[in-house]
A and B are shown apart, each in its own frame.
Chain A
Amino acid sequence: MKFDVEPSGRDGAVIHANGRLNLVSAPALKNLVTGIVHDEGRHNLVVDLAETDFMDSTGLGALISGLKTARAAGGDLRIACAGKQVMMVLQLTSMDRILQPHETIEECYE
């Protein structure tokens, strides 16, 4: 899995997650979010899942961890462009109530 970070505005960033968000890559996303929030002071985050082929429960756990980290710093973490399998995981776990999927990155900032 590959993560690309794109700063957005004064306190935001978009994380483009490319590949499988699973047991192997989830710790890296968790650490990445912690670094962006605590070291760079960017606490309004969007995770772009357009190129995320697959997400398992540990990947979902990393998103929840990131959400908690961002909110604790006064910001938020939103998700955009989730594919069918990721949407299915969110619905299966009812986590679409907490991590509401947005159709576009722009919509996350509205």
Chain B
Amino acid sequence: MNAGRLHVHELHACADPECLGKVHDLLALIWETSPDVSALDRAMFETAVIEIAANIVRHGSEEGSTFCNLILEVYPDRLDARFKDDGQIAHVDLDAAAMPDDFAESGRGLAMAKAAVDVLTYRRHNNDNYWTLSRTRTAT
């Protein structure tokens, strides 16, 4: 599954608003170690990863802290992200996620993430949430 992987970076953090800065920092680190990833791929992947991270922060546990693990991987042909968190179940329908009305102030996050990557999945297993994202890299 990890064949051909060029770089991997991992973060384990409390899923609070401060954690978003840590995710940005981890992404900056991965771009530093993989300078050949195009600007478009970086922007699209980062946008999708941050939207899912923000979703996890917003819908955390009812019983205190939510812990989140994030793995970012660079492959020659794609960028992958895997989140695992112990927050509340995310009641999402990714197939139905769509942009809301023009003047809506919220509700775009999942639709944006879905549009920015090629694969976006969510599953609940043993009281944990698992999100996977994958973007096929554009030719440079």
Interface contact B103-A56, CB-CB below 8 Å: no
Interface contact B109-A85, CB-CB below 8 Å: no
Distance A105 CA – B26 CA, assembled complex (angstroms): 33
Instruction: Kindly identify, within residues 49 to 90 of chain B, every residue whose CB is under 8 Å from any CB belonging to chain A.
Output: 50-51, 54, 57-58
Q: Which of A7-15, A20-28, A31-39, A41-49 contacts B (4 or more CB under 8 A)?
A: A20-28
From known contacts A57-B51, A58-B106, A61-B106, infer whether A89 and B58 are also in contact, taking CB-CB under 8 Å: no
From known contacts A20-B24, A98-B102, infer whether A93 and B108 are also in contact, taking CB-CB under 8 Å: yes
Contact with A along B37-57 (1 / 0, CB 8 A): 001100110110011001001
Nearest Cβ on chain B to A52's Cβ, whole angstroms: 13
Residue of B nearest to A71 (CB): B103
Interface contact A98-B103, CB-CB below 8 Å: yes
Q: Is B14 an interface residue (CB 8 A)?
A: no
Q: Is A95 an interface residue (CB 8 A)?
A: yes
Taking A56-B51, A68-B105 as known contacts, 13 extra A-B pairs with beta carbons closer than 8 A to each other, sorted by chain A number, are: A20-B21, A22-B50, A22-B54, A23-B17, A23-B54, A23-B57, A23-B58, A56-B112, A57-B112, A85-B47, A88-B47, A92-B47, A98-B102
Interface contact B39-A93, CB-CB below 8 Å: no
Contact with A along B1-44 (1 / 0, CB 8 A): 00000000000000001001100100000000000000110011
Distance A46 CA – B133 CA, assembled complex (angstroms): 35
Interface contact A56-B99, CB-CB below 8 Å: no
Q: List, in ascending order, chain A residues with CB within 8 A of B47's CB.
A: 56, 85, 88-89, 92
Q: List, in ascending order, chain B residues with CB within 8 A of A61's CB.
A: 104-106, 108
Q: List, in ascending order, chain A residues with CB within 8 A of B57's CB.
A: 23
Main secondary structure of the interface of B (DSSP, over half): helix
Distance A54 CA – B40 CA, assembled complex (angstroms): 13
Q: List, in ascending order, chain A residues with CB within 8 A of B105's CB.
A: 61-62, 64-65, 68
Q: List, in ascending order, chain A residues with CB within 8 A of B120's CB.
A: none
Nearest Cβ on chain A to B138's Cβ, whole angstroms: 13
From known contacts A20-B24, A84-B39, A97-B102, infer whether A57 and B46 are also in contact, taking CB-CB under 8 Å: no
Q: List, in ascending order, chain B residues with CB within 8 A of A79's CB.
A: none
Q: List, in ascending order, chain B residues with CB within 8 A of A70's CB.
A: none
From known contacts A84-B43, A85-B43, A92-B115, infer whether A57 and B58 are also in contact, taking CB-CB under 8 Å: no
